[in-house]
Amino acid sequence: MPGIEKLLLGILRYRVNTRWKLLEQFQRVKDNPEPTSVFFTCIDSRVLATKFMDSQVGDNFVVRSAGNLIPHACNFSYESATTEAGALELGCIVNGVKHVIVCGHSDCKAMNLLYSMRKEVDTKEGGPLQLWLKRHGAASLEKFKLLTPENEYKGPVPYQTARRFEAFIDPENRFNLADKLSQVNCLQQLQNVASYPFLQDLISREEVKLHAMWFDIYTGEVFMFSRTKQKFILINQQNINHLLHDAYRKIEKIPIAEQKRK
């Protein structure tokens, strides 16, 4: 079994090369880690988020699901409880984490499948993966419909978290339609996060902030959504100050009457 052999040999290399480094970090963190984010990403084996974030022990809660989907609060019940809502509560309520990040990626097999099922998403047939995508990816497909030939498949696409914002999806047209759906979906998950009542006050008071990232597995580049530029932009030395300012800027409060109109 070459698969398990590769895994076991990897553990032997870890014991020699890496274990002692991690033990130093465990000693430093001990029982009081201070994670900075709840980080949602896909289960795809090519997405190694801890590597492209250069994360260390105790830095992040990492939650992985097919398509980096986070079920909307309307789908939560005793019969349909999933780990994503529990991770939000554990991270943000129990541990006081201030940042929630959703990270999608290119050539996402889950998003590719969802894209291929876009005309049959209302049917309640299929295997576990198909049903997961149909139930929790339908809202992303509805947003994806706003990308049309008339607007060159760019949008804008509206979202609502603590306030309404719009996104232009891949305005440079570098990616295919399934990847565009992946970006639409990534932002939709922020709206899903904001649907949970136990987080709404924290998000409204800006004690918890929501961010979207997107990883291109073929270039190794990581993008972050900028609400001021209304699109995903590359995380690099030239953009880092803008992204930090954008991530921490105060939310412009919208008068209640205007919110109702929107």
Q: Is the pLDDT of residue 39 over 70?
A: yes
Q: Is the pLDDT of residue 56 over 60?
A: yes
Q: Which two tokens stand for residue 190?
A: 């922020």
Q: Is 126 exposed, middle or buried (0-12, 13-18, 19+ CB in 10 A)?
A: middle
Preceding omega of 35 cis (within 30 degrees of 0): no
Q: Is 87 exposed, middle or buried (0-12, 13-18, 19+ CB in 10 A)?
A: buried
The DSSP output letter for 221 is -
The confidence score (pLDDT) of residue 123 equals 87
CB-based contacts of 56: which residues, under 8 Å, 6+ apart?
25
* pLDDT tens, residue by residue, 68-119: 999 999 988 888 788 999 999 999 999 999 999 999 999 999 999 999 999 9
Tell me what the pLDDT averaged over the chain comes to.
92
The confidence score (pLDDT) of residue 107 equals 98
Rounded mean pLDDT, 6-22 = 93
- Give 247's pLDDT tier (boundaries 50, 70, 90): confident
Q: Is the pLDDT of residue 256 over 90?
A: no
Helix pair 109-116, 128-144: axis angle to 10 deg = 70
The confidence score (pLDDT) of residue 260 equals 39
Strand-strand pairing, 37-42 and 60-65: parallel
What is the distance between the alpha carbons of residues 10 and 7, in angstroms, rounded to a whole number? 5
Q: Is the pLDDT of residue 126 over 80?
A: yes
The confidence score (pLDDT) of residue 76 equals 81
Percent of the chain's residues with pLDDT above 70: 95
* pLDDT tens, residue by residue, 167-217: 999 999 999 999 999 999 999 999 999 999 999 999 999 999 999 999 999
- Give 146's pLDDT tier (boundaries 50, 70, 90): very high
CB-based contacts of 243: which residues, under 8 Å, 6+ apart?
224, 226, 233, 235
Q: Helix (H, G, I), strand (E, B), or coil: what is residue 236?
A: coil
> What structural domains does the chain harbor?
1-32 (no CATH), 33-261 (3.40.1050.10)
The confidence score (pLDDT) of residue 34 equals 87
CB-based contacts of 116: which residues, under 8 Å, 6+ apart?
none
HSE (side-chain half, CA atoms, 13 Å) at 245: 7
User: Which position has the higher pLDDT, 150 or 257?
Assistant: 150
Continuous segment of H or E residues that includes residue 232: strand 231-234
Q: Which range (28-32, 117-121, 139-143) has the least confidence?
A: 28-32
The confidence score (pLDDT) of residue 262 equals 37
Q: Is the pLDDT of residue 251 over 60?
A: no
Handedness of CA 67, 73, 75, 77 (dihedral sign): positive
